[in-house]
Amino acid sequence: MNTVVLGMWHLGSVTAAAMAEAGHRTVGLDPDPQVIEALGEGRPPLYEPFLAETIVREQAGGRLSFTTDPAVIAGADLLWVAIDTPVDEADRAEVGVVEAAIHACFDLLKENSIVLVSSQLPVGSIARLERAFALRSGGRRVGFASWPENLRLGEALARFRKADRIVLGLREPWVRKRLEPIARDFSREVLVMGVESAEMSKHALNAYLATCIAFTNEVASLCEVSGADAREVERALRSDPRVGPKAYVRAGGPFAGGTLARDLGYLSALGEDRGVAVPLLRAVPVSNAAHHHWSRRRLLEMLGNLDGRPIAVLGLTYKIDTDTLRRSAAIELIHWLVAQGARVSAFDPRVRTLPEALAPVVTLAASWEGACQGAEAVIVTQGRPEFEEMTPALLREIMRRPLVLDPERAVESTLGAVPGNESGEIAYVTVGRP
């Protein structure tokens, strides 16, 4: 099937590479010539393990190419919309950007082609696209379908290649006949359903995960002040069959802005528009925001005034195994530390330069040991193999005061069993423990 993937940022570049690898002649389309030039040279817009190598290999094999010319849509059997829906700083999705890009393709779509939407759009969007196309179709038959994205930064290509399950929303049998075999290339479990159900399933999943995170972190905060241990509470929850061993109950940091917050916003807006009360969904962002400052609160409790105090931050990217800093909770934390007058050093193996506002005032170290040298506290924001080398003996040697804040339990296996403040050796502080 000749496929054009529209949008060549994270979602689109992964989709195009995976489709080409599965044997489909694929063209990646994006209006930004710099993005297309970089992809042609085998440089994707964000780092993902094995993505660059796959792009280079599939281009060499003639199955994958990239262009800025929308004329390629005219020859496509499948137009796969994979534009990463922009989100502003208040987590409001800029849906109009994606819808306008799809509308611009309408006149180029050929008879019996399919528009497959993976971009995160609110439920009802595909129905609106169908109505808009009908006004301009000139009698052409074009199918519209939903394949909600199920990727994760740092694991995107692996998850696309071998998905746990794929949700496929469609209306007509002929669209199913064309799309289901493609979906089965990537997963044994393909859930075919109505378009609106598929759209809603993505919102519901992200809202559920966000609720689990907020709930568990609230319980963990109560554990910290009651003498309970959140790890043990989580174990009890998972042992109950009504919750289950794979339940998303693990105390840690808050969820960052973007995907989860966007879907919560979609559902809250839908409730408001249709007069349906959704107090639980509205409360989740409030709970998450309260937990957002856990590291700040605990650091002030342990150190007091931070003016002039050397603080290290380990792990800077939005997600592990990517190189993007946009919406990174660690970068937000560093901005706050600098505003408090702290002397900040930082390390992340994927980061070579800091944001312009931080570069003059934050030291970007070449190693985690370098970042921790002389520090009074270190905040570990994500798990990395390098950080597992952290031992009490080494911390006592290189730090002025061996205080470790570990909201994500990234180094709990090596430091979590170490006696705390009372030992005089090392203070290890994590979410959900007194």
Q: What are phi and psi of 191, to 5 degrees?
A: -100, 105
Name the fold adopted by 3-193. Rossmann fold (3.40.50)
Q: What is the pTM of this model?
A: 0.86
The per-residue pLDDT for range 362-405, each reduced to its tens digit, is: 999 999 999 999 999 999 998 888 888 888 889 989 998 889 99
CB atoms < 10 A from the CB of 330, how many?
24
- Give the pLDDT of residue 384: 85
- Give the pLDDT of residue 184: 96
- Give the pLDDT of residue 77: 98
Residue ranges of the domains in the chain? Answer: 3-193, 202-291, 294-429
Q: Are 48 and 9 in contact (CB under 8 A)?
A: no
CATH of domain 202-291: 1.10.1040.10
> Exposed (0-12), middle (13-18) or buried (19+): which is 266, by Cβ within 10 Å?
buried
Q: What are phi and psi of 146, to 5 degrees?
A: -120, 130
C-alpha 72/C-alpha 61 separation (Å) is 19
Asked if 3-193 and 202-291 have one fold, the answer is no
- Give the pLDDT of residue 417: 61
The low-confidence residues of the chain, meaning pLDDT below 50, are: 419-424
- Give the pLDDT of residue 420: 45
418: nearest Cα among 391, 397, 380: 391
Q: Are 95 and 124 in contact (CB under 8 A)?
A: no
Q: What are phi and psi of 311, to 5 degrees?
A: -125, 135
Locate 302 and state its tokens: 């342990």
Name the fold adopted by 294-429. Rossmann fold (3.40.50)
- Give the pLDDT of residue 321: 74
